[in-house]
């Protein structure tokens, strides 16, 4: 008899038939005696349809009105799911974000949750009702409708679970869990039973787009056990929790993440004087371009090379900015490369075990793959390589770290 928050994304509620399937699943949990709070997204395609209407009117829709518009998508789904549960003889009540109420700041289209009033939901749960909440939306102090930004329904679910001190927050999606790496690249990729919030954050931010990063941060912060499951097939999914000290067998590495979204820029032959890094990066961040990895080589002859990566969409703009900086600083040249990929191995076990990075470098070298940049954190090692080697690198590392095997069966 647990309190469970379930979240169903747009594909899971994309048609009336799928909404009925969700109702079946919710009803089953309820009949098993659990208290259930359901968070739903807009039916797939609906948010884009609404955004299309706005853009047919103006290229520059007002954020406040955008939120009024797109928040209707989830409102439709909550009503339909409530009706489907009523048809099954199940008590259920729908809530918009404002009705809950989910209080946010006033940053329209990217609002942040400030407080959740759990009284209405508690009263309904006590009466045996299923509570159905529109994801992705809230209301500010002045009563304006706000949205959390696209995909924000995950965040709504985790925030509700935290507010209600739920036993588990289940995110239903179109994959059946979190994998050691992308199964489309590595056939033997294995579903993880468990992963820590920290690892999941690294995996998510590195391109494994199963969950929204913000929702994982939120879950970690409030210690809400998070489970990723498929809404189309049965299975235990992947549980995302705090690191469990009692687990003897903490796997050394949990997964391999990668992305092709970045581009690399180098300002070569920069005079090596104090403050040069900030003089290079400030114009970039002033242009609202986010910098990911940064490497500055040891200088020689009082000159150094400065390399960093940005999102590939920002590549050309950054080149232009850097050309100006080159002139100002009297640097030698600007070198750009948007044919790169980032590959990372992630695992909390690295905290207490050395040698992961060197094994990774050795393996890549064996495959003849040149490492262009390296960046490390407590629980991950990332390298930048030429994009053409991406699949080769991921497969080689997946095999080298025996990630297709259960941690207990690995030879290291």
What residues make contact with its own copies under the rule CB under 8 A?
16, 19-20, 50, 53-54, 56-58, 60-62, 64-66, 68-69, 71-72, 75-76, 78-80, 82-84, 86-87, 93-94, 96, 98-99, 143-145
Of the two residues 27 and 169, which places its CB atom closer to its own copies in the complex? 27
- Write down the least CB distance from residue 4 to its own copies, Å: 22
Residue (of 407, 391, 411, 399) closest to 360 by Cα position: 399
Of the two residues 66 and 291, which places its CB atom closer to its own copies in the complex? 66
- Write down the least CB distance from residue 7 to its own copies, Å: 19
**CA 189 – CA 175 distance, rounded (Å):** 13
Of the two residues 43 and 369, which places its CB atom closer to its own copies in the complex? 43
- Write down the least CB distance from residue 119 to its own copies, Å: 12
Of the two residues 140 and 314, which places its CB atom closer to its own copies in the complex? 140
Bridge partner list, 115: 103
DSSP state of 142: T
Of the two residues 44 and 188, which places its CB atom closer to its own copies in the complex? 44
Q: What are phi and psi of 313, to 5 degrees?
A: -65, -25
- Write down the least CB distance from residue 411 to its own copies, Å: 54
- Write down the least CB distance from residue 350 to its own copies, Å: 49
- Write down the least CB distance from residue 82 to its own copies, Å: 4
Of the two residues 140 and 292, which places its CB atom closer to its own copies in the complex? 140
**CA 317 – CA 303 distance, rounded (Å):** 25
CB 35 within 8 A of CB 4: yes
Instruction: Give the chain's largest Cα–Cα span.
Output: 80
Bridge partner list, 133: 39, 95
- Write down the least CB distance from residue 393 to its own copies, Å: 47
**CA 89 – CA 27 distance, rounded (Å):** 9
CB 166 within 8 A of CB 121: no
- Write down the least CB distance from residue 346 to its own copies, Å: 41
**CA 118 – CA 371 distance, rounded (Å):** 51
- Write down the least CB distance from residue 133 to its own copies, Å: 12
Crossing angle of helices 390-400 and 356-366, rounded to 10° = 130
CB 323 within 8 A of CB 330: no
The tally of CA atoms less than 13 A away on the side-chain side of residue 88 is 22
Of the two residues 58 and 411, which places its CB atom closer to its own copies in the complex? 58
Of the two residues 57 and 298, which places its CB atom closer to its own copies in the complex? 57
For residue 89, give the H/E element and its range: none
CB 367 within 8 A of CB 398: no
**CA 89 – CA 296 distance, rounded (Å):** 65
CB 137 within 8 A of CB 99: no
- Write down the least CB distance from residue 99 to its own copies, Å: 6
Crossing angle of helices 46-57 and 63-87, rounded to 10° = 150
CB atoms near residue 293 (< 10 Å): 18
Of the two residues 110 and 363, which places its CB atom closer to its own copies in the complex? 110
Of the two residues 13 and 186, which places its CB atom closer to its own copies in the complex? 13
């Amino acid at each position: 008899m647990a309190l469970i928050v379930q979240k169903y994304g747009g594909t899971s509620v994309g048609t009336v038939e799928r909404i009925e399937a969700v109702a079946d699943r919710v009803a089953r949990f309820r009949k098993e005696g659990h208290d259930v709070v359901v968070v739903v997204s807009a039916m797939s395609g609906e948010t884009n349809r609404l955004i299309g209407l706005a853009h047919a009117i103006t290229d520059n829709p007002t954020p406040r009105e955008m939120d009024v518009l797109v928040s209707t998508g989830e409102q439709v789904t909550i009503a339909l799911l409530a009706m489907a549960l009523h048809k099954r003889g199940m008590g259920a009540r729908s809530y918009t974000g404002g009705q809950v109420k989910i209080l946010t700041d006033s940053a329209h289209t990217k609002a942040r949750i400030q407080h959740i009033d759990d009284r209405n939901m508690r009263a309904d749960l006590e009466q045996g009702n299923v509570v159905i909440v529109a994801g992705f939306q809230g209301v500010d102090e002045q009563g304006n409708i706000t949205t959390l930004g696209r995909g924000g329904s995950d965040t709504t679910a985790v925030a509700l679970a935290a507010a209600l001190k739920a036993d588990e927050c289940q995110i239903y999606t179109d994959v059946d869990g979190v994998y050691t790496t992308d199964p489309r690249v590595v056939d033997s990729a294995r579903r993880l039973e468990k992963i820590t919030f920290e690892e999941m954050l690294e995996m998510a931010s590195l391109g494994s787009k199963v969950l929204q990063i913000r929702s994982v941060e939120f879950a970690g912060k409030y210690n809400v056990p998070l489970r990723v499951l498929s809404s189309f097939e049965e299975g235990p999914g992947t549980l995302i929790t705090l690191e469990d000290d009692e687990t003897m067998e903490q796997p050394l590495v949990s997964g391999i993440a990668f992305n092709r979204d970045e581009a690399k820029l180098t300002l070569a032959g920069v005079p090596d004087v104090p403050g040069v890094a900030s003089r290079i990066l400030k114009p970039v961040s002033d242009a609202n371009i986010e910098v990911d990895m940064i490497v500055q080589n040891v200088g020689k002859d009082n000159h150094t090379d400065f390399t960093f990566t940005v999102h590939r969409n920002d590549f050309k703009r950054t080149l232009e900015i850097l050309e100006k900086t080159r002139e100002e600083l009297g640097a030698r040249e600007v070198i750009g490369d948007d044919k790169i990929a980032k590959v990372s191995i992630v695992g909390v076990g690295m905290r207490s075990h050395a040698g992961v990075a060197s094994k990774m470098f050795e393996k890549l070298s064996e495959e003849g793959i040149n490492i262009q940049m390296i960046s490390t954190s407590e629980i991950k090692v990332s390298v930048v390589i030429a994009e053409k080697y991406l699949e080769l690198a991921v497969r080689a590392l997946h095999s080298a770290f025996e990630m297709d095997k259960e941690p207990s069966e690995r030879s290291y």
